[in-house]
Amino acid sequence: MNNVKLIVSDLDGTLLNSNHELPDDFWEVEQQLRDKNIIFAIATGRQFYNIIKVFDKIKDKALFLAENGTYGFYNGKEIFANPLPKEKAFEFIKIGRKIANAYPILCGKNAAYVENSDERFLNEVQKYYSKLEIVSDLTQVEDEILKVTFCDFQDVPTNSYLYFKEFSNEFKVAISGKVWLDITGFFANKGVAIETIQKKLNIAFDETMVFGDFLNDYEMMQTAKYSFAMKNAHPDIVAISKYQTKFDNNNNGVTETIKEFLL
């Protein structure tokens, strides 16, 4: 694996532990990778503004793929955006308003927008969206829309997902966490984002390493020769990955693997 030039990691359930904290050795590992000219990138369903809050130390020199690959930012500059047609985003919002125990979030380039101030909902959303606005009507938002998300406290596979399953031929409908459902453009996912980066930076499949744990990482796992499912990963991610980490996300699975094989 000495030829690796790009490492891409998911955040929640992967690089971060269950308390949403970075491994104690992360900054040391990141610096060692930088010294070896290996790019360490983050690919997550989280909002860009939330990501740079976590990685403030390197926000102007790191590679971030936010909102499940719909927005790319590298060395302090936007490098691509893959927005969702606004009319379809608003259609999804209108459908979502009818779903019991599920709350819609409109994920724009400038902020994330919600129209419900339920305390439990806001407490959950604010973990992943640092720039958040409460509005009276999501279908009146003026922003470039990257993603529509639903926070579903009932059960995503048997509740909110069923309302949007029929759109899967035209859009990417992904169960991205225990209470999360994400809808993006059909060709907007972490895998497409990584392939875009590989082309821009002239990095090959054989020179890429990825780490993921959940279903929204599915396409990402197919972009790298060195694909690592986390020890705590969903069975479908384990099945499609070439390797599995020895340690889970609560025991520094990503950084321990990097140290073993690259440092």
Task: Report yes or no on 1 lying in a domain.
Answer: no
User: Same structural domain for residues 74 and 199?
Assistant: yes
**C-alpha angle 92-94-98 in degrees, rounded to nearest 5:** 110
**Amino acid (one-letter) located at 30:** E
Confidence band for 128, pLDDT divided at 50, 70 and 90: very high
Whether residue 124 is contained in a domain is answered as yes
pTM above threshold 0.85: yes
- Domain with 76, as residue range(s), is 6-81+188-261
81, 116 contact by CB (below 8 A): no
Question: Using an 8 Å Cβ cutoff, are 132 and 112 in contact?
Answer: yes
Residues 200 and 224 placed together within one structural domain of the fold: yes
Asked, for residue 110, whether it belongs to a domain, the answer is yes
What pLDDT does residue 177 have? 87
Q: Please indicate, yes or no, whether residues 101 and 118 belong to a single structural domain of this protein.
A: yes
Structure confidence by residue, pLDDT tens digits, 4-61: 999 999 999 999 999 999 999 999 999 999 999 999 999 999 999 999 999 999 999 9
Residue 144 inside a domain? The answer is yes
Single out the residue in 185, 219, 241 at which a domain terminates: 185
Mean pLDDT of the 163-192 span: 95
pLDDT in tens, 204-243: 999 999 999 999 999 999 999 999 999 999 999 999 999 9
Which secondary structure element, helix H or strand E, spans residue 87, and what is its range?
Answer: helix 86-96
Does one domain contain both 101 and 172? yes
CA distance 106 to 85: 12
- Within its chain, how far is the Cα of 208 from the centroid? 18
- Residues 173 and 221 placed together within one structural domain of the fold: no
Residues 253 and 124 in one domain: no
Q: Is the pLDDT of residue 88 over 90?
A: yes
CA atoms within 13 A on the CB side of 184: 26
Phi, psi of 126 (to 5 degrees): -70, -10
- Domain membership flag for residue 197: yes
Q: Each residue of 91-103: b (16+ CB within 10 Å) or e?
A: ebbebbeebeebb
Tell me the CA distances in angstroms from 134 to 103, 149, 175, 213, one per residue in order.
12, 15, 24, 31
Specify whether 99 is located in the same domain as 157. Answer: yes
In terms of domains, do 67 and 96 share one? no
pLDDT above 90: residue 2: no
Of 185, 202, 223, which residue constitutes the final position of a domain?
Answer: 185
The last residue of one of the domains, among 135, 154, 185, is 185
Query: What does DSSP say about strands 6-9 and 208-212: parallel, antiparallel, or unpaired?
Result: parallel
CATH number at residue 140: 3.30.1240.10
Looking at the structure, do residues 227 and 176 belong to the same domain, yes or no? no
Are residues 153 and 228 both part of a single domain? no
Number of domains in the chain: 2
Q: How far is CA 137 from CA 56, 90, 133, 145, 184, in A?
A: 32, 10, 11, 15, 20
Quick one: 145 and 212 in the same domain?
no
CATH number of the domain enclosing 57: 3.40.50.1000
Give the model confidence (pLDDT) of 131-176 as tens digits.
999 999 999 999 999 999 999 999 999 999 999 999 999 999 999 9
Q: Please indicate, yes or no, whether residues 181 and 97 belong to a single structural domain of this protein.
A: yes
- 198 backbone φψ class: left, alpha, beta (φ>0; ψ -120 to 50): alpha
Residue 121 has pLDDT above 90, yes or no: yes
Query: What are the strands, taking DSSP E only, across 70-225?
Result: 71-74, 77-81, 102-108, 112-114, 132-134, 145-152, 171-177, 180-185, 208-212
